[in-house]
Structure 1
Amino acid sequence: MEHSSRIDIKTLLNHAKTASVIADINREAIERRAFAPKKCQVFSEGFTVLEDQPQYRFSQDREAEKVLADIIDNHVQKIVPGTPEHSTEQERYFKRRNIGIVFSGGPAPGGHNVISGIFDAAKKANPASRVYGFILGPAGILERSYVEITESLVDAYRNMGGFNMIKTGRTKIDLKKKMDLSRATCKALELDALVIVGGDDSNTNAAFLAQELKVDGIQVIGVPKTIDGDIRVSTEDGDVLCSTSFGFHTAARAFAQNISNLCTDASSDIKYWHVCKVMGRVASHLALETALQTHANLTLIGEDLADYVDQERLKAAQERGEIDYTAYGMTLRHLSRLICETIVKRAASGKNYGVMIIPEGVLEFINEIQIFIIKLSTIIAEFNNVHDLDFHASFPNLDARLDYLRRLSRGISDRAASPIWNLRDDELFNDLPAFFQEGLLVERDTHGNFQFSQVKTEKILMDMAMDYLEILREKGIYKVGINRRSYESLMAMDGLDAEGFGRAIFKNYDQDGYLLVKETIISLKTLTQTVMNAGLIDDEKDLPGSVVDLFKKSVPKFSIQTHFYGYDGRGSDPTKFDCNYTYNLGLTAFSLIANGATGQMAVIKNLEHKFCKWEPLGIPISSLMHLEERKGKLALVIEKSIVDVESNAFRVVKALREKWLAAEPGDDCYRRPGPVRFTGSSEEDRPITLMLNSIH
């Protein structure tokens, strides 16, 4: 196009087609907003009531009985249809009320539908009811920063990802002053109820608020949220009342689509190992689900590593008449060896590429690293408590922190503190790379937890693996297999004796599969000598170029690309499963409020089954709490649920490891999960882990 004929920028920007194609809200978003999630049958009735379910039993913590005395006797409550006999409950259900909602912790897809469910149910019960959203998480409660949620605001965010409507934050309401401020805010807004949408720590907070505000007649309800999927509730008798938190399915699917694309890339370009770290600070649920979604060649599951026993070391010790206690549990060194074993196996079949999945918190299941984390967390907590200072502010760089540890190991610092760091710890810690030392000494989060997302786990493991692969390459063990047909074709083109050269060069020439160069052939010099000894050439100048090329193809070049999947998944638009799940969680939360419940967590039972079997419940949060060390002190918290290595889902992954490794000639077994959608008959209706675990 001639320069003089260009449309001017003002006209271009004002053109109807430009406005249509670059609009903030596209057709997909409009369709998402209009999507109507399904409702459990009970929510289509006139009103609901609560039915106690005393058959569901929990072992209660004694400390919880003391500090949560007003809500400790709560039962599991099932939401059932109201009848004409429930006239008192009916009157209470339809009364006008004010409800506050707050997001707490990291975002998870589906949060907006929790608000939508509460809003729709509250307005349907009584159009005069009002719903308020606190801005930027619990800090909004303390600072009295809120917005009234209206129909237009809700409609703008239905089925959309993120927590954009009211934002989120990580402030804890853990002190009396904060409790008093929360009470003042709730009273100022004349709130009848407060709904806290969050993870294990946030729901713990909900229990303490429920206890504190019960005397004021203000109800508090929790809603389970975390993409990590580590809020799973089972009774003492093994009944599963909540099989996963909302956002887990969406995040896993978002990760899986990206990892699936890398599987396609790896098997197309055949030169990279893609190393994918996925979120999951403590539990490996996301890694397990993405493995099932993608069939990646190698997936590490932290909970599996924790039970590892090195049988070879154990046997060697027994032969010496000893017990090698270090054979129990995985070490960093051995884990890197297992990774190398996988890489070498695939390379032998001509596949010097692949995809591996590493859970973010895998290091917590490595013996020596777990010990370091526990010791360093205790040291940091003790320093903060003894000196009333912040450890990381007092020692702002790595050198200062290492110097403090060094002095601590020699007993010349903080004599009053427990002698937890000794000279042996100092010696082992100094052997770690500086970036890893920095990672282990990183500032703990607001709950006192170690921040695995700040540690380059994949770099630690792959650096160790690459060092060992170099040793295996020098020993002639790490080789790339040569396709037999390609070899024979190349030899025929050059008029060479394929069988003669094959028997001289390859260690498995008489076997099927890819050809492997003998371990003794590690250079062109050793190759030449081998061929000369076989009488195939007279001197090194006669070494055929095709043979040289074949040898070079057998020498592996190990290249990796690292990826971290976390924030992208938690910011994804929700799947149809999460759209339906979260909307019904909102309806459940309102039913609990409308029937006078407090200190309960809104859940949906039977998520692992078809939608028609979903069962809305309220679970007593106090029954889920136990004492756990946080910031060097024992505190009541909700226990995180980790991967059960006896579950169907894990057993399936374990049984298919060799198949998905695909360390043999032929295609890989990669699976294409497809993009996240919210409509369509091909969209899966629940996580694969849940479907597998529902099989009995």
Structure 2
Amino acid sequence: MPEPSTIRLDKLLDHPAVMDAVADVNLELKERVAYQPPVCTVFKSPFTTLATDTQYQFEIDKEAHRQLSHIIANTVQRVEGCDDAADEVKENYRKARNIGIVFSGGPSPGGHNVIAGLFDAAKKVNPRTRIFGFLMGPDGIIDGDYMELTRERVDQYRNVGGFTMIKTGRTKIDNRKKMDLSRETCKQLELDALVVVGGDDSNTNAAFLAQEMFEDGVQVIGVPKTIDGDIQVRDARGQVLCAMSFGFHTAARAFSQAIANLCTDASSDVKYWHVCKVMGRVASHLALEVALQTHANMTLIGEDLADYVDYARLEKAEKERVVDYTAYGMTLRHLSRVTCDAIMQRAAVGKNYGVLVVPEGVLEFINEIQVFIIKLNTIIGNYNKMHDRDFHSAFPTLNEKLEYLRRLVRGIRKDVSYNVWNARDDELFNDIPEFFQEGLLTERDSHGNFQFSQVKTEKVLLDLVKDYLGILKEKGQYKIGIQDAQFVKTMQKGGLDPERYGPILFENWKQAQYLMIKKTIISRKTLKTALVKAGFLGDDETIPAPIEKIYNQSVPKFKTQTHFYGYDGRGSDPTRFDCIYTYNLGQTVFSLIANGATGQMAAILNLEQDFHSWRPIGIPIAPLMHLEERKGKLELVLEKSIVDVNSPAYRVVKTFRDKWLAATPGEDHYRHPGPIRFAGNSEENRPITLLLNAMGGHLSTPDQ
């Protein structure tokens, strides 16, 4: 046999096919980068103008009125196309500008297209306009670290995920020194406008920057970004102004594809429960969308848990003539029981597997956990305010933190927190697992928020579930159902009469397709006792192999695989929906700037409708602000939007909850959304929650 010829490495590496195979840019990426998103009709006009829309009203916070006086009177502004204008208006519209843009917070798919939309719109009007990207987030503004964005650089990142072009960061411009440094940077660059792309905290920052730089003539425009989907703006009458922040659709699709794959794996290997934690610290929008995309067997929605009422507990309290406040709101223990019930119901029909979706912030909706978080946030915030070093540096180990809390109870530490933490709190806190204590005492993020992504939420729940399933197993209640046909086949193959043994083994013999071993049979010993008692076996005889096989198949082993979906989704290449949405947000930003707006958030109305119905607008940020506790004190912030349990999307999920649990004989109802394809007619053009919620009043009753 001839020896294979050895190819010289340099020739191999120089071969076109090899070079193409290992290149950084593949064909799909080339097609993605070359895609030109369509623009809203108004942007096809030579000019745009802004028209005040008086149908939207806001309830103004007094503190917002005091702190944001320059921009508090802003109104909703519609972007309208204009074929011609007065010479003075044309001149101002077409003038060369210096515009800065910054990404703030975590990456969100589509951010690059905000830059591309702004860049294209600005350069089309005046090629001499300069766009500056601040590097590494708000730190770039504070430190004067920036780069001028060229067409070559912008073209490189069109329709591509991440914030790689200029990077991002989480710094807040929240004190006088940072604000003064930011103002100095804007002056040095002679900026006409600054664009802040970020979430609720970042748009809060944008409002204060607009206020501070109002008299300097620097316009500040915000852009709503977060994969969590918790920026959904409505006016005082509930009219939708911003239905969805960008990046949500892409992240949900990325998570859904991976979770749908786990549904396939679970129903193939039939031995694992896959527990999937998805991002969503304050709101469960992603979990809700994932439920609609995948039909996972069980999806916990935090907002639903917060609204839970235990009517059985209320009835008991009423009979005892007492008030049971614990009946309102889901407890951690009861949540574990609900989860166990679902697992047991599936096991009873032979499905000892499944997929459970859990939002990362689900524990925030559990009463006793929320109390702990509020109290610990206050204690940590008070300590940081009163001392030279922060709480976590002062008490680096868990034991040191716990000792500090005990000293508060004993009154040894006479600081502002001594009356926040009492003996009852200390007792309950010491009853929870050590790893969860550590999680609750973990360092807060830069905004003072509890970092649920750092807590093994799924482990907290699963430990309780496993413990309770163990108890139910000992009681003979948690068993795997045996298909009647399988039982008959196994017995006949072993030479035994199924009709004779069936009534002895099963509590529902001849009553169901899946047979349940009697609750009294919880071990081989009790199995043998039942056979001996029935006269089918002698004391010294062994259990027949077919019967032992059936018994072994009925004994559940609760095996789990845990997964966290967050960073992978926010780094995904955007869906076509997010590409088009963000590109038009960038175009909207320029229209707001060119028409003199400041303190506004760029948005698109009618996202739930076909593209030709989309309408670009500017939303006033200041009227949306309200006081909220942050780091132990009240601060003006933009309110997060949580899942509305009366919304059509939630009601649809609730309606199909039992169907998707599939605790019945037969196939599961898993849905496979497929990968983000970007091209082709089968790619969905908007989030399912957006589509369903747009139906609003078309559903008749709240419990439908």
Q: For the superposition of Structure 1 and Structure 2, which TM-score range results when normalised by the shorter chain?
A: over 0.9
Are residues 1:29 and 2:29 paired?
A: yes
SS at match of 1:676: coil
Partner of 1:194: 194
Partner of 1:585: 585
CA distance in 2, matches of 1:315, 1:238: 36
CA distance in 2, matches of 1:187, 1:198: 23
Alignment of 1:259-338 (within 5 A): 259-338=259-338
Are residues 1:150 and 2:150 paired?
A: yes
Measured after TM superposition, the shift of residue 677 of structure 1 is: 2.1
Partner of 2:678: 678
Moved over 4 A (4+): 1-4
CA distance in 2, matches of 1:19, 1:85: 54
Q: Which amino acid aligns with 2:605?
A: K
CA distance in 2, matches of 1:338, 1:236: 37
Partner of 2:168: 168
Measured after TM superposition, the shift of residue 254 of structure 1 is: 0.2
Measured after TM superposition, the shift of residue 542 of structure 1 is: 5.0
Alignment of 1:265-664 (within 5 A): 265-539=265-539, 541-664=541-664
CA gap of 1:584–1:416, structure 2 versus 1, over 3 A, is: closer
Given that 1:101 and 1:131 are in contact with CA atoms closer than 8 Å, whether structure 2 keeps it comes out as yes
CA distance in 2, matches of 1:3, 1:383: 75
Partner of 1:102: 102
Q: Which amino acid aligns with 1:530?
A: A
CA distance in 2, matches of 1:92, 1:484: 81
Measured after TM superposition, the shift of residue 321 of structure 1 is: 2.1
Q: Which amino acid aligns with 1:233?
A: V
Q: TM-score, normalised by structure 1?
A: 0.99
CA distance in 2, matches of 1:322, 1:635: 39
SS at match of 2:329: coil
SS at match of 1:214: coil
Given that 1:500 and 1:536 are in contact with CA atoms closer than 8 Å, whether structure 2 keeps it comes out as no
Measured against aligned partners, the alpha-carbon deviations of 1:121-156 in whole angstroms (never above 9, x if no partner) come to 000000111100000000001111111111100110
Measured after TM superposition, the shift of residue 88 of structure 1 is: 3.5
Measured after TM superposition, the shift of residue 418 of structure 1 is: 4.6
CA distance in 2, matches of 1:540, 1:223: 79
Measured after TM superposition, the shift of residue 693 of structure 1 is: 0.7
CA distance in 2, matches of 1:415, 1:257: 51
Given that 2:196 and 2:221 are in contact with CA atoms closer than 8 Å, whether structure 1 keeps it comes out as yes
CA distance in 2, matches of 1:411, 1:30: 66
Partner of 2:66: 66
Q: Which amino acid aligns with 2:206?
A: A
Partner of 1:116: 116
Q: Which amino acid aligns with 1:75?
A: T
Measured against aligned partners, the alpha-carbon deviations of 1:294-335 in whole angstroms (never above 9, x if no partner) come to 000000000000011112212222222222111111111111
CA distance in 2, matches of 1:85, 1:148: 31
Alignment of 1:203-222 (within 5 A): 203-222=203-222
SS at match of 2:482: coil
Given that 1:234 and 1:242 are in contact with CA atoms closer than 8 Å, whether structure 2 keeps it comes out as yes
Q: Which amino acid aligns with 1:476?
A: G
Instruction: Determine what percentage of the aligned residue pairs are the same residue.
Output: 64
CA distance in 1, matches of 2:487, 2:244: 52
CA distance in 2, matches of 1:368, 1:12: 64
Given that 2:408 and 2:418 are in contact with CA atoms closer than 8 Å, whether structure 1 keeps it comes out as no
CA gap of 1:517–1:93, structure 2 versus 1, over 3 A, is: same
Measured against aligned partners, the alpha-carbon deviations of 1:483-541 in whole angstroms (never above 9, x if no partner) come to 11111111222232212211111011121221100100001111112122223334451
CA gap of 1:663–1:247, structure 2 versus 1, over 3 A, is: same
Measured after TM superposition, the shift of residue 678 of structure 1 is: 1.5
Measured after TM superposition, the shift of residue 6 of structure 1 is: 3.0
SS at match of 1:194: strand
Are residues 1:19 and 2:19 paired?
A: yes
Measured after TM superposition, the shift of residue 91 of structure 1 is: 2.4
Measured against aligned partners, the alpha-carbon deviations of 1:45-94 in whole angstroms (never above 9, x if no partner) come to 11100000111001111001011101000110000012435544332211
Q: Which amino acid aligns with 2:564?
A: F
CA distance in 1, matches of 2:2, 2:47: 69
CA distance in 2, matches of 1:415, 1:356: 44
Measured after TM superposition, the shift of residue 7 of structure 1 is: 2.3
Given that 2:382 and 2:416 are in contact with CA atoms closer than 8 Å, whether structure 1 keeps it comes out as no
CA distance in 1, matches of 2:317, 2:281: 35
RMSD between superposed Cα atoms in Å: 1.2
CA distance in 1, matches of 2:334, 2:622: 41
SS at match of 2:619: strand
CA distance in 2, matches of 1:634, 1:463: 36
SS at match of 2:318: helix
Q: Which amino acid aligns with 1:326?
A: T
Given that 1:199 and 1:226 are in contact with CA atoms closer than 8 Å, whether structure 2 keeps it comes out as yes
CA distance in 2, matches of 1:333, 1:388: 40
Partner of 2:182: 182
Q: Which amino acid aligns with 2:430?
A: N
SS at match of 2:334: helix
Measured against aligned partners, the alpha-carbon deviations of 1:597-619 in whole angstroms (never above 9, x if no partner) come to 00000000111111111110000
CA distance in 2, matches of 1:195, 1:21: 39
CA distance in 2, matches of 1:83, 1:35: 27
Equivalent pairs, count: 696
Partner of 1:693: 693
Given that 1:579 and 1:678 are in contact with CA atoms closer than 8 Å, whether structure 2 keeps it comes out as no
Given that 1:49 and 1:89 are in contact with CA atoms closer than 8 Å, whether structure 2 keeps it comes out as no
Partner of 2:702: none
Given that 1:231 and 1:640 are in contact with CA atoms closer than 8 Å, whether structure 2 keeps it comes out as yes
Measured against aligned partners, the alpha-carbon deviations of 1:254-287 in whole angstroms (never above 9, x if no partner) come to 0000000000000000000000000001000000
SS at match of 1:96: coil
Measured after TM superposition, the shift of residue 566 of structure 1 is: 0.1
Structure 2 unaligned residues grouped into runs of 5+: 699-704
CA distance in 2, matches of 1:425, 1:493: 61
CA distance in 2, matches of 1:84, 1:253: 42
CA distance in 2, matches of 1:537, 1:287: 53
CA distance in 1, matches of 2:195, 2:165: 15
Given that 2:45 and 2:83 are in contact with CA atoms closer than 8 Å, whether structure 1 keeps it comes out as no
CA distance in 2, matches of 1:489, 1:12: 60
Q: TM-score, normalised by structure 2?
A: 0.97
Measured after TM superposition, the shift of residue 18 of structure 1 is: 1.4
CA distance in 2, matches of 1:87, 1:332: 67
Structure 1 unaligned residues grouped into runs of 5+: none
